[in-house]
Amino acid sequence: ACADEILFDAKVYPFKRCKQLSPDELRRIHHSARQAVVDATLVVRDRMNGQLGHKLRDFLAGH
């Protein structure tokens, strides 16, 4: 789910071969991956209230 969300945000076709990615596409993927981690960390921290063991996925982008 996370990889799909990152590629969707980066506007990169998910079945494109790595060797065919342009430098701009790679930059967008890198940026989207870093942002996804930041966003997910903030959501999970706020909603978990220190309780581990739950899987929160309803904040992920549906596409």
pLDDT, tens digit (0-9, with 9 covering 90-100), for 17-49: 999 999 999 999 999 999 999 988 888 788 777
Residue 5 has pLDDT above 60, yes or no: yes
Distance, in Å, from the CA atom of 56 to the CA atom of 16, rounded to the nearest integer, reads 29
Residue 1 has pLDDT above 60, yes or no: no
pLDDT of 54: 63
Burial category of 7 from C-beta neighbours within 10 Å (exposed 0-12, middle 13-18, buried 19 and up): buried
The predicted model scores a pTM of 0.72
Q: Where are the domains of the chain?
A: 2-48
pLDDT of 52: 62
Contacts of 56 (CB under 8 A, 6+ apart): 43, 44, 47, 48
